[in-house]
Structure 1
Amino acid sequence: MARQTLEDLFIHDLSDIYSAEKQLTRALGKLARAATNEQLSQAFETHLQETHGQVERIDKVVEMCGIRLKRMKCAAMEGLIEEGQELIEELEKGPILDAGLIGAAQKVEHYEIAAYGTLCALGKQLGREDAVKLLHQTLEEEKATDQKLSQFAEKVGNPQAKKG
């Protein structure tokens, strides 16, 4: 389906982030198991639960808007997850891997922040205020997760990696 209208673009972008979130639900458990630091592992587990809620929120947006998502695979998320997997395969368990996992997770968060920000802007243009409220809620969760990761990296992860 060609993206010829703003509505087409909204559906495409919503389909893309839906795929991204689904992929992320499969990857976060791996990150949690790979992390050495218990707080970091728990943060990944917490974000996994949050991500399930975000998928449900997208389902609500789809229902509210009366649209049908396209079956697609988010190539960007696939690449970001692959980068995280490479870290897990290449680095020994420990503080250096943890620092790398934090960076990989922040790349994911930044992608999601951009995606949800775009969806909110498109939704506003289309007059889909109810959908925008739900999408904005997810946007704020993604920003909060990014901030938590930054704080963890600065206070715990990177100092431990420097020692190690």
Structure 2
Amino acid sequence: MQINTLNDLFIHGLSDIYSAEKQLARALAKLAREASTTELVQAFKQHMEETQGQIERIDQLLEAESGLKLKRMKCHAMEGLVEEAEEVIESTEKGTIRDAALIAAAQKVEHYEIASYGTLCTLADQLGYKKAKTLLAQTLEEEKTTDNLLTKIATSKINSKAEVE
């Protein structure tokens, strides 16, 4: 996609994160299956549901803001992050070490999403897409909350258990 305007950049970013969310929705089911700590399994399942809602929110945004159409593209960054998580699964046995590694992999994803949604919120604001900004800001807050939850799970039990294994 040729990017010549700020609006093109916004559409590119929105198209990219849409692809990322769809890839993540598929990956989270596997992460939930591969985690061993109940709290982590639940966090992955909860985020999988949230991710479906975030995909729907992008669809709502497109309906609310006339003239916006996504471009068909693949988010290569998310593809790489998902591959990294799969490598973690392949190189660890199920248990707290894997759980710690899965949290690290998931937080890389969250940080990518936080950066993407933060940028999209700024662009939506500058371009006057008020409804889009509101919807994107809602998703941004969900991503931050998920990141904080993963940190809490890691620091409250998993990392210290993994350290003694």
Q: TM-score range by the shorter chain?
A: over 0.9
Deviation at 1:163, TM superposition (A): 2.0
CA distance in 1, matches of 2:128, 2:161: 48
Q: How does 1:8-47 map to 2 (within 5 A)?
A: 8-47=8-47
Note the alpha carbon deviations across 1:23-79, whole angstroms, 9 max, x for none.
Answer: 000000000000011110111000000000000000011111221100000000000
CA distance in 2, matches of 1:28, 1:156: 21
Give the TM-score normalised by the residue count of structure 2.
0.98
CA distance in 2, matches of 1:96, 1:142: 24
RMSD (Å) for aligned C-alpha atoms: 0.6
Deviation at 1:13, TM superposition (A): 0.2
CA distance in 2, matches of 1:63, 1:130: 10
Deviation at 1:152, TM superposition (A): 0.8
- Size of the alignment, in residue pairs? 164
Moved more, 152-161 or 26-35: 152-161
Deviation at 1:11, TM superposition (A): 0.4
Q: Does 1:155 align with 2:147?
A: no
Q: What's the % identity of the aligned pairs?
A: 62
Give the TM-score normalised by the residue count of structure 1.
0.98
CA distance in 2, matches of 1:5, 1:61: 20
| Alignment partner, residue 84 of structure 2 | 83
CA distance in 2, matches of 1:142, 1:117: 10
Listed as ranges, the gaps of 5+ residues in structure 1 are none
Q: How does 1:83-102 map to 2 (within 5 A)?
A: 83-102=84-103
Amino acid at match of 1:141: E
Deviation at 1:103, TM superposition (A): 0.3
Q: How does 1:109-148 map to 2 (within 5 A)?
A: 109-148=110-149
CA distance in 1, matches of 2:2, 2:65: 19
Amino acid at match of 1:90: S
Moved more, 58-67 or 104-113: 58-67
Amino acid at match of 1:14: L
Listed as ranges, the gaps of 5+ residues in structure 2 are none
CA distance in 2, matches of 1:87, 1:45: 19
